[in-house]
Structure 1
Amino acid sequence: MQRYGVMIVLNTLPRHQAAGKLAACNHKHKQGNAGHKVNKKQPFFDGTAVFCRFSMHGATSFVSLYYTTKWRGHKEGKEGFMEKSRFRIRFFVCAVCLCICLPPGCSRGEAQSEKEDIPVIYIGITGNSGMYQNLERVNTELEKQFMKKLGVRVRLVNTGLDSADNYYKNRRLGVDILGMYYSAFCSGVQKNLLLDIKDYLDTAPALQAVLDEKAAPQDLGCSGVYGVPKPISDLHSNGAILNRACVEKYGFDVSCVRQAEDLEPFFEVIRSSEPDMVPWALEKSRNAVLERQPIADLLDGCLSGIMYEDNQPAVCNIYETKAYEEQVKLAKRWQERGYLAGDILTCIENGKNMVLAGEAFAAECVVKPDETQYDESIYGDKMIIVPFENRPVLDTEDDWIYVWGISVDTAYPKEAVEALNLLYCDPEILNIVLYGVEGTDYVVGEDGRFHYPAQDVAAEKGYTNTAKWKFNTLKAGVWEGMSLDLQEDFARFADSAVYSSAYGFWLDEKELTVDLAKLRQIVNEYTPWLETGLCDTDSYLEEFRQKLKEAGSERLVEEVQRQLDDWKMSEKE
């Protein structure tokens, strides 16, 4: 078989599994029962199934071969034994068939697929979407583009929901390029799971530009480059998405909405007139009632922060502030008035989906040019986005909230870095990853904007990437109703932002003498109940604050303030 360039791989199965496989192969109409009725203690035959995989011209096929050492029928004595030679006969027949299938005059070098020698880079991508049924055709188009631009094959791997932090799942799936939240990134660096890409950045100018723009973490304890933050910082404000049908039905004047509290008159109408509709849904499962309206730059990921409204970098315990108290009291008021769902802590559906489905009237949403314009373009017939009058805020963590890195196990480090570089800057690559295949998932109009190819094609029917915020959407195409100068819109939005007075500062947790893990445990224990109104706010908040003090919150604030002061002094030098 070697002369024809055929690769054969034999895999054997245990007896009872072989029985099921053979039953399934020979009696496809009984596949539902195949194998599970086999008596493992007294099998009706002793033998082994052999499955042959052969690769030819880039195609992989499977042939099932089997042999039996003896057959146990109902009357073993009468049935006798079957000779092993039957295996050799069947193997020979299959081999002849394979040879017949080969094109005439095919040499070993010609039959060996060129793809076998081309690096394949896998990119892990998360999100609930139409990816599962449509990812293959998207990957086909993606491979074409990467082959043309880099000479490598690149494919997306849908790693499922909430698996971006699960490095080992990505490893099992063979992912080379993986995205992760900052905490998982730090863990990956400490465990030596991520590749140091410093020596490959000469051929990755887009990655280097992002690294030059954003202050690198100082608490990793290493000098290498193990990841690159997502291209667009997590700069945003907040607002509400409203069910358009209800707004029009009841004649709500949304122009009067400035803050979340201004929605309360609408909630009263919905609560009394639409008993099956939740007035306000959480943006995501287990979020706060107002998750996207931060009051401070949280420097330690726990409780020490700088209030955005303060010009001086004075660190405080944010849970001791009046602003936090007002937020939890609003949550309590909405809970008491029936504006929130009864299963608010266990509901797994996100707020936008509930509003679109008519299950909720309103939900909190992120407000930023790219995401807001896209949602209005795609879902504008079903919802209305009302921004609150809050300026966008930016702190150091917003730059590094999500990081892309390369697995230390990759077989092609240089190619993986170059592929990631294109993922940051190439419009054609980004359009495929974000929106799918042109002509199938979208078409480009005369004005250059995207739209669906037919009236009956909706976002949920085609390829849908629900994790667009992790990519450089400003470099990709725009949809009908969106601004053709999205980058300029975002620049103006960024200019209006409130920058934390500690922007660029990284806390060194190793220098802290307080048990930060214990304090975080207390925060995680109390805040879900306070921030959804599911407790006696006054007594629970007082108890919460006391628990933090007993665990060392005041000393923690002092130590964070000391590090911040030292950083400020070093910046002046």
Structure 2
Amino acid sequence: MVNVFEQEDIMNTLKHMHKWFNDGLINPDAATTDQGPKWCVVSSGQGFPGAEVSWATGRGKDVYAEPFAGPLYSTTSILGSVNAISASSKYKTEALKYLEFVNTDETMRNMFAYGIEGTDFSKNEDGTITRTENCYSPATYSQATYFTLYPVAPNAADQWDKVEEWNETAESSVLLGFNFDRTNVETEIANCSLIMSRYDKELYTGTRDPEEAVPALYEELEKAGLETIREEYQKQIDEWLASK
């Protein structure tokens, strides 16, 4: 368990952001403004095959994506894709039947996601669909698998095949399955979070020189219990690894 600000690649990124700030490429008020832009010229996020097409459609701008890392399975990413049935549910059997149904029946899966064919969407010859204006539009990611969905034009017809291949080649984090218990260091985490809130925007927007800001930040974090947090993390990781 290490401090990310001691890592060379992180410092290089912060230095690069500071250079962009000094070159006038970053809004000089970026660290203090509470008004977001209509759209971001440069942004980062969790990508996938075909993501740039979806982002471009939503933003009305051409989008170019460059993979930075991954694909990687982590505890967080796995939990974000889990369908579960509450232990207190009175309808566990029915809920399980529903999950099986919506994840295996292609027609019903697409109806849940897109609505009624001919009313909410129309099929294209290449296997994609085109959605109508003001159509039924739920959060499809919260419903069931993507791999039986019709891709939405202008996405490629094999979009979900590519995503499935991408998933199958993903590596697993060495800490996949580990969950940190904050109980013993709640106070230290709260204190360090407060300190980070005074530095993060200026560092991440390039406003402050990381050569000056990071040592000052690190000194405050050390006094607030950063090392105690690191030791607790390392202790729990060691115990978790030993139990596997």
Q: Pick from 145, 150, 155 the counterpart of residue 477 of structure 1.
A: 150
Partner residue of 1:553 out of 226, 234, 239 = 226
Q: Partner of 1:543 in structure 2?
A: 216
Name the structure with the higher helix share.
Answer: 2
The letter for the 1-side match of 2:197 is N
Q: Secondary structure at the match of 1:523?
A: helix
1:330 to 7, 12, 16: 16
Other-structure match for 2:167: 494
| 1:19-56 CA distance string (max 9 Å, x none) | xxxxxxxxxxxxxxxxxxxxxxxxxxxxxxxxxxxxxx
Q: Distance in 2 between matches of 1:403 and 1:389?
A: 25
Once residues 494 and 543 of structure 1 are traced to their aligned partners in structure 2, the CA distance between those partners, rounded to angstroms, is 41
Paired position in structure 2 for 1:386: 65
State the Cα distance separating 1:530 from its structure 2 match: 1.2
Letter in 2 for 1:398: S
Q: 1:442 aligns with which of 113, 121, 134?
A: 121
The 1:375–1:464 alpha-carbon spacing in structure 2 relative to 1, beyond 3 Å, is farther
Q: Name the amino acid aligned to 1:369.
A: P
Instruction: Name which of structure 1's ranges 491-500 and 418-427 shifts more when overlaid on structure 2.
Output: 418-427
- d(CA) in 2 for partners of 1:490, 1:473: 9
Q: Which residue of 2 aligns with 1:527?
A: 200
Query: What amino acid is aligned across from residue 194 of structure 2 in structure 1?
Result: Q
Residues 61-210 of structure 1 mapped to structure 2, 5 A cutoff: none
Deviations 1:244-282 (A, max 9, x none): xxxxxxxxxxxxxxxxxxxxxxxxxxxxxxxxxxxxxxx
User: How far 1:519 moved relative to its partner?
Assistant: 2.3
- 1:517 is aligned to 190
Give SS of 1:385's match.
Answer: coil
Aligned match of 1:346 = 34
Q: Does residue 86 of structure 2 align to residue 398 of structure 1?
A: no
Kept in 2, the 8 Å contact 1:391–1:496? The answer is: no
Q: 1:364 aligns with which of 35, 38, 44?
A: 44
The normalised TM-score by structure 1 is 0.36
Higher RCO, 1 vs 2 (CA within 8 Å, ≥6 residues apart) = 2
Question: Is 433-442 or 558-567 further displaced after alignment?
Answer: 433-442
Please give the secondary structure, in 1, of the residue aligned with 2:147: helix
The structural deviation recorded for 1:476 is: 1.3
Aligned counterparts, 1:239-388, within 5 A: 315-342=1-28, 344=30, 345-348=33-36, 354=39, 361-369=41-49, 371-372=51-52, 374-375=54-55, 378=57, 382-388=61-67
Please report the RMSD computed on the Cα atoms of aligned residues, expressed in angstroms.
3.5
Shift of the alpha carbon at 1:565?
A: 1.8
Give the secondary-structure state (helix, strand or coil) at the position aligned to 1:364: coil
> Is the alpha carbon distance of 1:341 and 1:484 closer, same or farther for their aligned partners in structure 2, counting shifts above 3 Å?
same
Provide the secondary structure at the position in 2 that maps to 1:451: strand
TM-score, length of structure 2 as denominator length: 0.77
Deviations 1:60-95 (A, max 9, x none): xxxxxxxxxxxxxxxxxxxxxxxxxxxxxxxxxxxx
Distance in structure 1 (CA, Å) of the matches to 2:202 and 2:60: 35
Deviation at 1:477?
1.1
Amino acid at match of 2:27: A
Gap change, CA 1:568 and 1:362, over 3 Å in 2? closer
Q: Which runs of 5+ in 1 are unaligned?
A: 1-314, 355-359
Query: In 2, distance between residues paired with 1:477 and 1:442?
Result: 11
Displacement after TM superposition at 1:546 (Å): 0.9
Q: What pairs up with 1:427-438 in 2 under 5 angstroms?
A: 427-438=106-117
Taking the aligned partners of 2:195 and 2:60, their CA distance within structure 1 comes to 43
Higher strand share: 1
**Number of residues of Structure 1 aligned to a counterpart in Structure 2:** 241
Post-superposition shift, 1:531? Answer: 1.0
Q: Is the 8 A contact 2:110 2:150 kept in 1?
A: yes
Which one-letter code corresponds to 1:318 in the other structure?
V
Larger radius of gyration: 1
